[in-house]
Each structure stands twice: as structure tokens, then as C-alpha cells.
Amino acid sequence: MTFPRFASNDGVIEAATAALGARLVETRECVGEIALHVERASLVETMRILRDELAYQQLMEIAGVDYPDRAERFEVVYCLLSVTRNHRIRVHVATDEVAPVPSVTGLWPVAGWLEREVFDMYGVLFEGNADLRRILTDYGFRGHPQRKDFPLTGYVELRYSEKHKRVVYEPVKLAQDFRSFDFMSPWEGADYILPGDEKVSPVEPGAPTPAPAKTAPEPVVATSPPPTPKTTDSPAQTGEGKADPLGDGAKK
């Protein structure tokens, strides 16, 4: 006998709507998955109902999504699993850079690690997390690398300093000209201005024209000085025209 990998979605939205009531902002089903969008302030109570009344016992993951064109640009996505019903569901909460999301560490202690990851990557704050600090990047890291306005090169780079005998942080230096992406956004299809994007200046689209190469001077052909005469080149030095008094071929 074969069993389906996951249980059917039949009746799940209806049950969630009846249990959560006004806490629900939106429900939708897409590609076989059910997503519940809820109010940020009622997140903890929503998750408690899903765990205790609808049997979604396990918190499998917390992820972040960045939508820069929205007023509340971030979505925090909670992935829940019902072991007894063999079913999965997602819970979505919207927030911005300053409004904290209530922590669910009181329901699932493992959320402490997952919330730290979302904070590190996106900068989302979690109210009630007793240890909200970076978990993937270094403590001296600047910015949040999963934000869509984060530059591809980052803000700082680190190296080991022989002078200070430790790792030091320095501003990123773009030493190579071809690393200037001012002619096109690194985020394909983006219709908003990214920080540092050169497209804000009124220039024609297209790659910047490279600077003309410096013309090398004409090569100078070296000429050798006139040869110095050898010391035996004159007749007086060679003995030419002198008689051979002994007749033995030897010159005197």
C-alpha cells in the first residue's frame, strides 16, 4: 500500500479561518501549499492556536523575504509541520526596518537560532529574543547581505594585519575598473534606484566608454658610433713597404 507524501489541503483553509478569525489578513493556496498572512501583533497567539488546536507541532524554519517597493518591505515566513496530520503550512508576517516582530521562542525554543539568522541577513528585529545577535556573518560585519539594496561587494573587507597582529576591517576598495556596474543594475529587472547606482545621473544607457589608451612614442633607432681604427691599421704600424734585410720574412 502506498501513502501520499503529504496530506491533502482539503478543509485546511476553512479550519484555519474558523480558528484564527480576525487575526487572518489573507489566505491563499499556491502550487499545493497553503499560506496564512496574519497581523504582526497577533503572531504569538496565532502560532499557539496552530500548534495546540490545529496540531502543527513543529516549527521547521523561519525565512525572510525582501520586497523593497512595499511600505513594509520584509516578510517573515514561518514553516510549520503537523506530524500527526502529515501536513505543512506557512505563516507570513509583514514588517519594516524598525517595527519588531514578536518572538516565538516561548512556543519553540529553536526559534531563537532561526530568528537570529533572519536578523543577521535582513535586519528584522524580534521583540522578546534574549540573544538577538549575528549568527552567520562576523560581529564586525556591516549591513544585512540578503537585502536587495545591499551592494554586491559589501561595505567592508577584512584582512590579517601583521602590524596589529589581528584581523582588521577596512572599507571596500574597488581597484578594478570593470567592477563598476553603473551602466546596469546588478538586480535584473529592478525599476527602483539602488543606493550608489549611477543610473540616477542623466546619461545614455549602455556601458561607459573606456578612456582612450595613451599613444606610445615612436621608437628611437639607436645608431652606433663610428668604429675606432685599430692600432695596426696604418702602414707605419704594420711595417708595410719596409725592406727585409735578412730575407727571412721577418719584419724589423
The pLDDT of residue 155: 84
The pLDDT of residue 50: 97
Amino acid at 72: E
Query: 169 near 191, Cβ under 8 Å?
Result: no
- Chain centre to alpha carbon of residue 62: 20
pTM more than 0.75: no
The pLDDT of residue 37: 97
pLDDT tens by residue, 176-224: 554 555 555 454 445 656 565 555 555 455 555 555 555 556 666 667 7
Tell me the C-alpha to C-alpha distance, in Å, between residue 136 and each of 116, 124, 143, 252.
9, 15, 13, 99
Residue with cell 692600432: 231
Query: 55 near 84, Cβ under 8 Å?
Result: yes
The pLDDT of residue 241: 58
Query: Pairing mode, if any, of strands 101-102 and 156-161?
Result: unpaired
Residue intervals of the chain classified under CATH 3.30.460.80 are 1-139
Residue with cell 474558523: 18
What is the CB neighbour count within 10 angstroms for residue 37? Answer: 16
Q: What is the CATH superfamily name and number for domain 1-139?
A: NADH:ubiquinone oxidoreductase Nqo5 subunit (3.30.460.80)
The pLDDT of residue 68: 94
Q: Which three cell numbers stand for residue 183?
A: 551602466
Burial (CB count within 10 angstroms: exposed 0-12, middle 13-18, buried 19+), residue 93: buried
Query: Pairing mode, if any, of strands 58-66 and 33-38?
Result: unpaired
The DSSP code for 154 is: -
- Side-chain-side CA neighbours of 68 within 13 Å: the count stands at 13
pLDDT tens by residue, 39-61: 999 999 999 999 999 999 999 99
